[in-house]
């Protein structure tokens, strides 16, 4: 009995620690699944499979009274795909991406105290801040309110009335979806805050780093993964576009403007931070070159008076100068760009396909 009580107490203490440092999505995955080679597969199943089973159970139970066509049902399943990948993106960001970010920062920061400053905001879950709770609450309110307002459209799936148990299950499911997608938004905001905090830090760029970007190439991975996580929300676009066309056909431009804004923000979420990191890298590169040029001038004046040893020192400084000039000041690679292009293209492609299939029915 004592062993059981101790095990339960240990479990709850670990749970409390995890939920204080991570979002409920990542904390639940760490607590129930742990860190295994196939954690991402198990996490995908844990969140995606129940959503698909409930959705399929609903459609099968109301198959005789559904008035929507097969395409509309397919669009709902496309939106439900996010349950398979969204939580995995969140877990990966908190468990892997953030850890790699801090590890890479440790290598380029001159002052270790600044590393503690960078680490402090990331030590706690994004829901520990008041702005995080407020954003989540407002986001859930908007999404759930919009869903409830679409009751007439949902009746086409076989909802009997507002007292129908399936209606309440769907409202609850949408609220859970809204909460998890809201976490994704907060993590995007966290990325911007991480970069804002990094920009004033003193860094030591390394001309011999394998990334050829002075050691700051990891920002390309951070931002491309963040953009891709943000763009995964495009899976909801076909269903939302269908809903809007059914209920507000006379205002179809509104939803297109919103989607266009979403695409623009997805692209800017990579481009704008990369621009600031580029400017910092250019500044650090110029500082390093200026320091080396002063040393070169001094050494040149010395070796011109003779002496092999002085010439060799001059040559070392000159080689270092040339190596620094080869540092690429744009901290991203082809893979990063491809991920960003895919992030921008996904919502556009899904929108075009939805409009095409709707126009050819």
Annotate 2-21 with DSSP letters as a single string: HHHHHHHHHHHHHHHHHHHH
Q: What is the DSSP letter of 353?
A: H
| Sequential DSSP letters for 279-346 | HHHHHHHHHHHHHHHHHHHHHHHHHTT--HHHHHHHHHHHHHHHHHHT--SS---HHHHHHHHHHHHH
One domain, residues 119 and 78: yes
One domain, residues 322 and 266: yes
One domain, residues 75 and 153: yes
In this predicted structure, the answer to whether residue 257 has a pLDDT above a threshold of 90 is: no
One domain, residues 163 and 236: no
Q: Which domain holds residue 297?
A: 206-361
Q: What is the DSSP letter of 239?
A: H
Number of structural domains in the chain:
2
What does the pLDDT look like over 202-251, one tens digit per residue? 898 899 999 999 999 999 999 999 999 999 999 998 888 888 777 766 56
Structure tokens at 36: 């295994």
Nearest to 87 by CA among 38, 141, 28: 28
In this predicted structure, the answer to whether residue 275 has a pLDDT above a threshold of 80 is: yes
On average, the pLDDT of the chain sits at 88
Q: Model pTM?
A: 0.90
The predicted structure's pLDDT at residue 42:
94
Question: Is the CB of residue 159 less than 8 Å from the CB of residue 241?
Answer: no
One domain, residues 142 and 175: yes
Q: Which of 148, 178, 201 is the last residue of a domain?
A: 201
In this predicted structure, the answer to whether residue 114 has a pLDDT above a threshold of 90 is: no
One domain, residues 143 and 250: no
In this predicted structure, the answer to whether residue 359 has a pLDDT above a threshold of 70 is: no
One domain, residues 341 and 355: yes
In this predicted structure, the answer to whether residue 104 has a pLDDT above a threshold of 90 is: yes
Query: By 3-state DSSP, what share of the chain in percent is helix, strand and coil, each rounded to 5?
Result: 80, 0, 20
> How far apart are the C-alpha atoms of 160 and 156, rounded to whole Å?
10
What is the pLDDT averaged over residues 173-192? 92
In this predicted structure, the answer to whether residue 271 has a pLDDT above a threshold of 70 is: yes
């Amino acid at each position: 009995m004592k062993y059981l009580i101790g095990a339960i107490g240990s479990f709850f203490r670990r749970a409390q620690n995890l939920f204080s440092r991570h979002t409920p999505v990542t904390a639940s995955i760490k607590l129930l699944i742990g860190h295994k080679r196939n954690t991402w597969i198990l996490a995908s199943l844990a969140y995606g499979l129940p959503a698909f089973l409930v959705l399929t159970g609903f459609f099968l139970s109301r198959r005789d009274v559904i008035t929507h066509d097969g395409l509309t049902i397919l669009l709902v399943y496309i939106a439900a795909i996010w349950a398979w990948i969204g939580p995995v993106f969140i877990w990966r960001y908190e468990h892997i991406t953030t850890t790699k970010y801090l590890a890479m920062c440790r290598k380029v920061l001159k002052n270790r105290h600044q590393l503690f400053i960078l680490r402090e905001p990331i030590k706690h879950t994004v829901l520990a801040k008041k702005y995080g709770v407020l954003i989540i609450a407002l986001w859930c309110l908007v999404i759930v309110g919009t869903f409830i307002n679409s009751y007439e459209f949902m009746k086409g799936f076989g909802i009997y009335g507002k007292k129908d148990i399936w209606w309440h299950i769907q409202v609850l499911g949408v609220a859970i979806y809204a909460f998890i997608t809201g976490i994704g938004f907060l993590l995007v905001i966290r990325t911007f805050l991480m970069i804002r905090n990094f920009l004033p830090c003193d860094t030591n760029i390394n001309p011999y780093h394998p990334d050829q970007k002075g050691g700051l190439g990891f920002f390309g991975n951070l931002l491309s993964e963040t953009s891709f996580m943000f763009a995964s929300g495009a899976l909801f676009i076909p269903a939302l576009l269908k809903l809007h066309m059914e209920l507000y056909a006379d205002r179809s431009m509104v939803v297109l403007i919103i989607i266009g804004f979403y695409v623009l923000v997805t692209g800017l979420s990579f481009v704008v931070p990369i621009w600031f990191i580029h400017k910092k890298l250019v500044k650090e590169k110029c500082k390093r070159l200026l320091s080396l040029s002063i040393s070169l001038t001094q050494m040149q004046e010395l070796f011109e008076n003779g002496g092999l040893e002085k010439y060799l020192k001059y040559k070392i400084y000159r080689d270092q100068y040339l190596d620094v000039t080869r540092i690429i000041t744009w901290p991203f690679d082809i893979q990063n760009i491809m991920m960003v292009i895919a992030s921008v293209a996904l919502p556009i492609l899904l929108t075009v396909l939805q409009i095409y299939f709707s126009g050819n029915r």
